Structure 1
């Protein structure tokens, strides 16, 4: 009660924060006449003036008001768009490193120009992050006109660029790109062997568009770069041979949950067999050094006890081919991950194909926390405000709309069955079509879109293939506003221009658009249609002149008439076919209507058979509704149901947040180690000579060898001189008279260490002299970096395997996270010890040819990012390899094909297509994704 009273008297925290920006907005407005009077050249010259002021000691904050006024005027002249006051406030929020929540249609793309320009003046580079390549290219070109007008450079990072193109884009003042590309470039940079070949130049400031989609929805799955692992068939075969020796009480099998685990007795039996086979490195099977062995044992156990030949897979042509459990079809080219497929190959005694190894990985959570300043913008972030603050230290500020929202949001309608729900939706669609009201129907999945499409088809509607941009012509020809033909569009292909055109025209009177996941599509639904998009598509390359001007004027006039008809019909109607787990996603859909003060309407339809309703006890509600006499095709509508659903969604969101937070706690262990390893690499690459590091490694290794074989305060006769002699011979490749030295009277371990160091240093100097100074420098740096990289890759796999089995520690009343941190720390210490030892061993055994060594090539790599909702790899078979000589390793036979530029593909000849990404538009021109068209698996 007191909280609400204080809010009425003093305003909310958000209101007070917004109030603080008003004086700056007024100051920008006061400068407007002065700036507007400047010529184009004088306006452009302000950029150099601002940079000079920064060099003279002013701060970025000092320049906010004049810089924002400059951008506002430049946008007016170049784009014909003047920043609203609310857009300036949004820009200030972004500049301060916070999240600006702005409703759809408020012009977030333009909002970013002011803080981007201001921060780019510092010369450190500003990154603007989008959700797909199309938006990155579109926004860089569109807003780049403002930046270029003001004398700043703009670059774009999209898939398919080589290192030189990427380096040039990152060298620009402002760089647009996707979250995936930024993350992968960071990982690849930290696999390079010299500073000059790296493409990124730092992480000063980033603005993330659709920040909730990138930093929340996609935060659960890491970006992964993988490469082929060295072949280890003997390990798989050895472990496989142990499986038939297990008895029924050695494991617990749960076929329903598809899990199998060793019992305590089984653990003892396997441990004994592994020891006999010589596979255990030390102590117990579950010690840190043996986690990889445990992982392979678990996978072999799954292969034998959970997977059946001719049911889960078949053996054909000496290959294990997976059978799809839903369709019963073979899926050639697809392979189980994490060594499971190799375990099945060992079980069936067919050729074991090499496993892919993770070369580098990072989550978006940890990548974006690298930036000195991070900001974001979206239409829906307030519901995740706690997560943004907790994980990213980002405050969410709600920016008011430029005009009041006129949209009417109806209470949800709840039906008993899915069939009744879809029938009610179809009835409403028909009502909207008859009065010429544009309609957007949002679904939670592609499958749900197709189900609704079938209902519409049964009612006489026709689904159009919108690969032809003129497919919408019947909706606006003759300015009728209401199409005679009953047609609808289904949008479930993503990330290409055709989709943007369809979305932009979804506001045409009578248009019916069914779409899955409306977040991040980057194109406003404007009532009457988007004139600029129509001009671009319909007029294409028509040369400038009177004819084009007349055509443009005709399109604009037609759109204006259609907008009046759409407004008269009530604006855009939003229908939600189901509540999403997250209310934020529902709000994104709702926010597509009512842009810039337009009228609109929204309503969600639910059934007791929907996933969210079913999870939260719809059985009891169904029984209650039957007793109350709810008839077929009747709905229950009440604000209480809305509130109950919102609470249910909050519970699901809280659970998902806990999952992401828990994942982050584990990933932070790897992230801390990753940062240290990458820092080591950068320091080494930046040094002209690493001779001091090599010498330090050598001396530390000798100290460790002496300590291992010469106990503290022990007499010389208690020293393990034979072991020390053998270790020195193995690592330093030196035959030193250690036994004789130990017999000398009065010798101490310090003296012994000194003699070994002197001998090793002398040998190292002689070897360096024989190689030559230049060659030695190259060798030392290459050995340091390559050895570190190889050990780091092994370490990533070991930590991954440890993470999979660490949960079992909870059965012993031990916290798995603490155990993981502890053992991860031990494993990292072991990695550093092995690095020193392996580098030292290599340097003392290396033989150099006459030719100086060239920079070692990077291993062939493949990019992966798994969709957290579908589990599908966005980059699978999408030509995502980064190597020069080898084909991409992906989950399709098409992966072995070359990448062919789209313009070089003949739509009628699949032989000319090369490797096509599963999520790319099919080259045949159907408008479908390749995986749903010619790329369908038979």
Structure 2
């Protein structure tokens, strides 16, 4: 026996085991109430719920009511055994009564802690007990899950438990109208996805009248697949967008051919660089090959030829080694001179090189395309011009600001188009359906109609795919 094992035994087990040991007396109380409630009539369940609510309103804590409430839920589960109802249009026979370990999980969830349970161990059933207990306060409680199907399934599957106890249950689904959402949120317990709850919260902060809000509070929530929702999906921000006052749709159409040409040139160039790298590799010139592969990666990380080459683990390691060497020696930008633009995967940025700028200028035949007026210098010139009246000076300044804004908008649109062509892949990041660009959720693979990428990306994708460019949005 190791020292650590001996110490754990001496001190009564691990911290987790000690915490669980404290909860077993509560489980025993729950089972005691469960036995008592076997004598209740069916109509008494709603009366018990009303009694719990009254006790809470008079100051009794949820913790003190917990054993009775959980015992009541367990008895309802027993009474429902053998009964059938539709779950996602499939007839299902109820056959579940909570085990002691599930009661433990339910206690832990009420305490605001994480309960780790494997698939098939009854997470959905476990959640019913703390949801019922907290809904007794009269405040809205939520069950947050990862997709619409699970939200609907769990609501329809567990719904009869709550309804037998006299509570109402709602479910938020994508595409619901405002009045439908209000109705579902007005239920005692509401099931839905993190995206739907999140966007409804954002929209509620944009309404002009209090009565237009759909949610009625955020008292208690259980998050299913908490690691996925709070860690993985947390990387994707929830963004609400709306139309801007001035539409600049034509800029994207004007610049799309320029960027398409630039993208095609870069694709051919990067593919050639990858071929050169493979040739050098065969010749045994490892270092030179690494430089070529790194150059290709900076030019287009999603290039088909490069991705094919990177399937070889040794080539992938060679690229990483070469990149570290160039970063350490501060020579990384030496690789960019031959490229038209440089892509940084880490910060999702894209930058035109001098070669790329020259190509744009040549294509547009506009040598001043990248030149922005210096506002400080130009406004000073206007102020110091003795030939202008005060009114004319104001007019000239407004004209200067308009030129600056228009040129800045063009440069921002050019960058958005570059990202649209290089960073976003059709049928992976988005699809084109009925003349519209529709986002594909990167986690679920579900289509998200009505959602739009921000910062001009969506408009750039529309121009790229030659569909109607909708009004640009602000977030």
TM-score, length-normalised on structure 1? 0.31
Instruction: From 183, 186, 200, give the equivalent of 2:215.
Output: 200
Shift of 1:261: 4.9
Q: Distance in 1 between matches of 2:371 and 2:468?
A: 40
Instruction: From 29, 36, 39, give the equivalent of 2:38.
Output: 36
Q: Distance in 1 between matches of 2:416 and 2:338?
A: 10
1:27 aligns with: 29
SS at match of 2:191: strand
Are the equivalent residues in 2 in contact too, given 1:323–1:330 (CA < 8 A)?
no
2:371 aligns with: 273
2:79 aligns with: 77
1:337-392 Cα shifts (integer Å, max 9, x gaps): xxxxxxxxxxxxxxxxxxxxxxxxxxxxxxxxxxxxxxxxxxxxxxxxxxxxxxxx
Structure 2 residue 124 is the aligned partner of structure 1 residue 109: yes
| Equivalenced residues, count | 325
Shift of 1:5: 3.7
Q: Distance in 2 between matches of 1:330 and 1:133?
A: 23
Are the equivalent residues in 1 in contact too, given 2:141–2:221 (CA < 8 A)?
yes
Q: Distance in 1 between matches of 2:75 and 2:468?
A: 49
Shift of 1:233: 6.4
1:66 aligns with: 68
1:170 aligns with: 185
SS at match of 2:167: coil
Q: Distance in 2 between matches of 1:164 and 1:6?
A: 60
Structure 2 residue 7 is the aligned partner of structure 1 residue 6: yes
Are the equivalent residues in 1 in contact too, given 2:251–2:413 (CA < 8 A)?
no
Match runs of 1:411-430 below 5 Å: none
Are the equivalent residues in 1 in contact too, given 2:52–2:65 (CA < 8 A)?
yes
Are the equivalent residues in 1 in contact too, given 2:38–2:75 (CA < 8 A)?
yes
Q: Distance in 2 between matches of 1:47 and 1:280?
A: 74
Do the aligned partners of residues 12 and 49 (structure 1) sit closer, same or farther apart at CA in structure 2, a change above 3 Å counting? same
RMSD: 4.6
Structure 2 residue 351 is the aligned partner of structure 1 residue 260: yes
TM-score, length-normalised on structure 2? 0.58
Q: Distance in 2 between matches of 1:7 and 1:62?
A: 32
1:138 aligns with: 153
Are the equivalent residues in 1 in contact too, given 2:252–2:413 (CA < 8 A)?
no
Instruction: From 228, 237, 242, give the equivalent of 1:222.
Output: 237
1:884-905 Cα shifts (integer Å, max 9, x gaps): xxxxx99699999xxxxxxxxx
Greater helix share, 1 or 2? 2
Q: Distance in 1 between matches of 2:129 and 2:207?
A: 35
Match runs of 1:456-495 below 5 Å: none
1:566-625 Cα shifts (integer Å, max 9, x gaps): xxxxxxxxxxxxxxxxxxxxxxxxxxxxxxxxxxxxxxxxxxxxxxxxxxxxxxxxxxxx
Are the equivalent residues in 1 in contact too, given 2:341–2:351 (CA < 8 A)?
no
Shift of 1:254: 4.0
Do the aligned partners of residues 279 and 231 (structure 1) sit closer, same or farther apart at CA in structure 2, a change above 3 Å counting? farther
SS at match of 2:223: strand
Are the equivalent residues in 2 in contact too, given 1:35–1:69 (CA < 8 A)?
yes
Do the aligned partners of residues 895 and 190 (structure 1) sit closer, same or farther apart at CA in structure 2, a change above 3 Å counting? farther
Q: Distance in 2 between matches of 1:2 and 1:85?
A: 32
Are the equivalent residues in 1 in contact too, given 2:342–2:353 (CA < 8 A)?
no
Match runs of 1:511-522 below 5 Å: none
Structure 2 residue 248 is the aligned partner of structure 1 residue 157: no
Instruction: From 118, 128, 131, give the equivalent of 2:133.
Output: 118
1:764 aligns with: none
Do the aligned partners of residues 324 and 895 (structure 1) sit closer, same or farther apart at CA in structure 2, a change above 3 Å counting? closer
Shift of 1:227: 3.1
Match runs of 1:287-366 below 5 Å: 297=411, 300=414
Instruction: From 180, 189, 192, give the equivalent of 2:195.
Output: 180
Structure 2 residue 104 is the aligned partner of structure 1 residue 89: yes
Are the equivalent residues in 1 in contact too, given 2:436–2:468 (CA < 8 A)?
no
Instruction: From 864, 867, 877, give the equivalent of 2:442.
Output: 867
1:399 aligns with: none
1:733 aligns with: none
Do the aligned partners of residues 228 and 110 (structure 1) sit closer, same or farther apart at CA in structure 2, a change above 3 Å counting? same
SS at match of 2:241: strand
1:308-347 Cα shifts (integer Å, max 9, x gaps): xxxx69xxxxxxxx99699xx9999577xxxxxxxxxxxx
Q: Distance in 2 between matches of 1:168 and 1:281?
A: 57
Q: Distance in 2 between matches of 1:87 and 1:281?
A: 72
Q: Distance in 2 between matches of 1:45 and 1:893?
A: 63
Shift of 1:236: 7.9
Do the aligned partners of residues 43 and 332 (structure 1) sit closer, same or farther apart at CA in structure 2, a change above 3 Å counting? closer
Do the aligned partners of residues 893 and 164 (structure 1) sit closer, same or farther apart at CA in structure 2, a change above 3 Å counting? farther
Are the equivalent residues in 1 in contact too, given 2:370–2:411 (CA < 8 A)?
no
Shift of 1:84: 0.2
Match runs of 1:550-561 below 5 Å: none
Q: Distance in 1 between matches of 2:190 and 2:182?
A: 11
Structure 1 segments (4+ residues) deviating >6 Å: 233-240, 269-272, 277-282, 290-295, 322-326, 329-332, 889-896
Q: Distance in 2 between matches of 1:166 and 1:142?
A: 20
Q: Distance in 2 between matches of 1:210 and 1:39?
A: 37
